[in-house]
C-alpha cells in the first residue's frame, strides 16, 4: 500500500484531518515531525495551519527548514507533493511553485465555503474531476491572495467561481490574480491549494468534493 | 569585524497593502489627510563578518524579502 507523509511543523494544525482524508482515500498516512526523514514514503503532504506563527511571511520560515530539501527531491523525482493552505504558502516560499500568497485584499481572516471551477483535471490530484466541474470546499486563510507577474507561467488548477462556474470578481474572496485558488508545477506533480480538500472529505462536513483530490493522488501514486 | 545592519523591506509599487490601507483609514478618521500609507518591514541586527554587503544581500534574497513582491534597501555601519 502506498504511504504518504503528512509533515508537521511547529504551528501546523490540520495534520490529523489530512491524515484521515488520505486514509479514507485508500492509502497509508503518517504524521511526520519536520525533524524526521521522509525516506520510505511515496508522497508528501504539507498540511494547513500556522507554521512558525506566520512570522515574517506565512510559510517563509518552514520553507527554509532542512526537510524541504527532501520535499524538493520528491518534486524533482516526479512524486506527488501536495500543499494545502499554509502548505501552499510553504511551497511558494520554497520556490517549488511559482508566485506568492499575499495578505487578502479584504484585510481579514476569511473562513467560509467557496465554489471552485476545476480548470485543469490532468494533474495527479484532479484526475477524478470532470473538466470545468464546479465543486465546494472551505477556505480559511489571511494570506491567500495569489500573485504572479505572468499567469501563463503556471498551471491553474482551481479557480474561485460562482455556483454555476463563472469566474467573477464577486466570487473572488481574496483578490487572487485570475481568481486562482490552486496551481500546479509544469509536470503537475506539485500542487498548492488554498481551499482545504480535507475539510470537504465527508458529507457530514458539508461536502465530499475534496476527497477526490486525495483519491486522485493515491490512485496516481499506485501506478 | 562587527557591523550594525538596518534592512528595510517594502512591497513593490502598485501592489496593494491591506494593512497600510486600514492604518491609513484610521488616521483619516482621526482627521489627518493621509494618503498612500504603506507598511514596510524593518530589521536591525549586528553581524560578525568580513564581507557584510555580500551576506546582507544574501539574507535579503534568501529570506527577509520575497524578490517577486518586495524591494529592499539596507545600511551597514561598523560597530565601534
Active site residue A111: no
Tens of pLDDT, residue by residue, chain A (223 residues): 999 999 999 999 999 999 999 999 999 999 999 999 999 999 999 999 999 999 999 999 999 999 999 999 999 999 999 999 999 999 999 999 999 999 999 989 999 999 999 999 999 999 999 999 999 999 999 999 999 999 999 999 999 999 999 999 999 999 999 999 999 999 999 999 999 999 999 999 999 999 999 999 999 999 8
pTM, rounded to two decimals: 0.94
Where are the strands (E) in B1-80, listed by range? 2-11, 41-48, 70-78
Q: Residue A138 has which C-alpha cell?
A: 472551505
Contacts of A56 in chain B (CB under 8 A): 41, 63-64
Which residue segments constitute the domains of chain B, with CATH numbers given? 2-78 (3.30.1280.10)
ipTM reported for the complex surpasses 0.95: no
Q: Which of B22, B63, B66 sits opposite A64 (nearest CB)?
A: B63
- Asked if the C-beta of A60 comes within 8 angstroms of chain B's C-beta atoms, the answer is yes
How far apart, in whole angstroms, are the C-alpha atoms of residue A212 and residue A92? Answer: 23
State the Cα–Cα distance between residues A67 and A44, nearest whole angstrom: 11
Cα dihedral angle (A8, A28, A212, A104), rounded to 10 degrees?
A: 0
Of A47, A49, A95, the residue nearest A68 (C-alpha): A95
Which of the following is catalytic: A14, A85, A93, A141? A85
Amino acid at each position: 500500500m502506498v504511504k504518504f507523509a503528512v509533515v508537521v511543523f511547529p504551528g501546523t494544525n490540520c495534520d490529523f484531518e489530512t491524515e484521515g482524508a488520505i486514509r479514507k482515500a485508500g492509502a497509508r498516512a503518517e504524521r511526520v515531525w519536520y525533524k524526521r526523514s521522509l525516506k520510505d514514503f511515496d508522497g508528501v503532504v504539507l498540511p494547513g495551519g500556522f507554521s512558525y506563527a506566520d512570522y515574517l511571511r506565512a510559510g517563509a520560515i518552514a520553507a527554509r527548514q532542512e526537510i524541504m530539501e527532501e520535499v524538493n527531491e520528491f518534486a524533482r523525482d516526479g512524486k506527488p507533493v501536495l500543499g494545502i493552505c499554509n502548505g501552499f504558502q510553504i511551497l511558494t516560499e520554497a520556490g517549488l511553485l511559482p508566485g506568492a500568497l499575499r495578505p487578502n485584499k479584504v484585510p481579514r481572516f476569511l473562513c467560509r465555503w467557496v465554489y471552485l471551477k476545476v480548470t485543469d483535471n490532468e494533474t495527479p490530484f484532479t484526475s477524478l474531476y470532470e473538466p470545468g466541474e464546479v465543486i465546494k470546499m472551505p477556505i480559511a486563510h489571511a494570506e491567500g491572495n495569489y500573485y504572479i507577474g505572468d499567469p501563463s507561467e503556471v498551471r491553474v488548477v482551481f479557480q474561485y467561481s460562482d455556483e454555476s462556474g463563472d469566474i467573477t470578481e464577486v466570487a473572488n474572496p481574496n483578490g487572487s490574480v485570475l481568481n486562482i485558488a490552486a496551481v500546479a508545477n509544469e509536470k503537475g506533480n506539485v500542487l498548492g491549494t488554498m481551499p482545504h480538500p480535507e475539510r470537504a472529505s465527508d458529507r457530514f462536513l458539508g461536502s465530499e468534493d475534496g476527497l477526490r483530490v486525495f483519491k486522485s493522488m493515491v490512485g496516481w501514486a499506485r501506478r | 569585524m562587527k557591523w550594525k545592519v538596518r534592512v528595510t523591506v517594502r512591497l513593490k509599487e502598485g501592489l496593494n497593502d491591506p494593512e497600510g490601507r486600514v492604518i491609513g483609514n484610521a488616521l483619516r478618521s482621526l482627521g489627518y489627510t493621509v494618503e498612500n500609507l504603506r507598511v514596510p518591514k524593518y530589521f536591525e541586527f549586528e553581524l560578525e563578518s568580513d564581507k557584510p554587503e555580500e551576506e546582507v544581500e544574501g539574507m535579503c534574497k534568501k529570506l527577509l524579502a520575497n524578490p517577486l513582491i518586495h524591494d529592499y534597501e539596507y545600511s551597514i555601519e561598523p560597530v565601534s
